[in-house]
Amino acid sequence: MRTNPSRQLLLRHAVLSLVILIWLPLIGSAQSKPNTVRKFDEFGDIYLSDLKARVDNFAIELQNNPAAKGFIIVYRSRRDLPGINARYAGRIQDYLFETRGLTKDRIVTVNGGVTECLIQELWIVPPNTVPVIRADAYQHSFDDTGSARKFDDISIGDETGIGNGTLEGFADALRKEPTSHAYFIAYAQYYIDRGSFDTDGKRVHYKNVYLDKPGRAGEVLRIARRSLISISPALASRIRLVDGGYRQNASVELWIVPAGEHAPIATPNAFPPKRHGNRAK
């Protein structure tokens, strides 16, 4: 049976129109995607190697979208110290600046407040837009601002881990309490690792001693002080430094102490044969 040519032409037009109707919304959606706020990644407290891999991917996405900004939102759990929000956001920010070469105007950090667990979010945000804060998050302030309280507790290694990004939140909290003092208590490491293992049918015992060089705590304290002053020079006269002695894991505590309150007490838990005494500055 032979089909009428006019009828074939009409049929082709009808099919083409149907295809256009189906694909047009999809094309529009694809074109509008660059102007849409979108969460790029979300994770909890992860290993540093995994964190770097995720942030590397985030940096590549930002480089491919030069008009967009990168937002870093960190939520802490109710059990976490308040400084963890800014510290976790700050270390991601520092990595993007120092390792990935992004400029400071491209990255925004946000203290998301408190949720049920620690959450870190990375967002791609076009101009004139902002990301959405989680519905279950809430802001939390200290219940007793008249007492000395620990703001953060940071592990330190060969690199101190005390940079400007780490201390941004501490500086902000101190600005809100103009009569309070900032205390840093630093602990050097002293740890003895003892154990044994079997080799060639014999039991071998071992003992490894990890002892930081003399003056390590003082070095960390000086770095912390310089970093805080570089963020807010007005805080210089309010900073107090304490060499806390030794712990099994080197760390530095950040405290906020209202005027007239007693200084925090150092709590060392490791005591090498030749131990330096605590000293406040």
In this structure, are strands 119-125 and 69-76 parallel, antiparallel, or unpaired? antiparallel
pLDDT at residue 142 in the model: 52
**2 within some domain:** no
Nearest to 72 by CA among 138, 114, 124, 34: 124
Residues 6+ apart with CB under 8 A from 57: 40, 41
Nearest to 84 by CA among 161, 146, 154: 154
Could you tell me if 153 and 270 lie in one domain? yes
Could you tell me if 200 and 276 lie in one domain? yes
Query: Which tokens hold the place of 155?
Result: 């592990």
Cα–Cα dist 239/180, whole Å: 9
pLDDT in tens, 147-164: 899 999 999 876 567 876
Could you tell me if 182 and 254 lie in one domain? yes
CA dihedral 149, 155, 161, 162 (to 10 degrees): 20
pLDDT at residue 164 in the model: 67
What is the extent of the structural domain holding 62?
A: 34-125
Q: Which residue did the predictor score with more confidence, 14 or 45? A: 45
Could you tell me if 91 and 159 lie in one domain? no
Number of helical H runs and strand E runs in the chain: 5, 10
pLDDT at residue 35 in the model: 75
Q: Reply yes or no on whether the pLDDT at 27 is more than 80.
A: no
Which CATH number characterizes residue 88's domain?
A: 3.30.1330.60
Helix or strand holding residue 132 (H, E): none
Q: Which stretches of the chain are assigned E, i.e. beta strand? A: 38-43, 69-76, 107-114, 119-125, 149-155, 181-199, 202-211, 239-247, 251-257, 279-280
Which residues face 119 on adjacent strands?
75
Percent of the chain with pLDDT over 90: 75
**26 within some domain:** no
Contact between residue 58 and residue 70 where contact means Cβ atoms under 8 Å apart = yes
Domain count, the chain: 2
Could you tell me if 115 and 230 lie in one domain? no
Helix or strand holding residue 243 (H, E): strand 239-247
3-state secondary structure (DSSP) of residue 89? helix
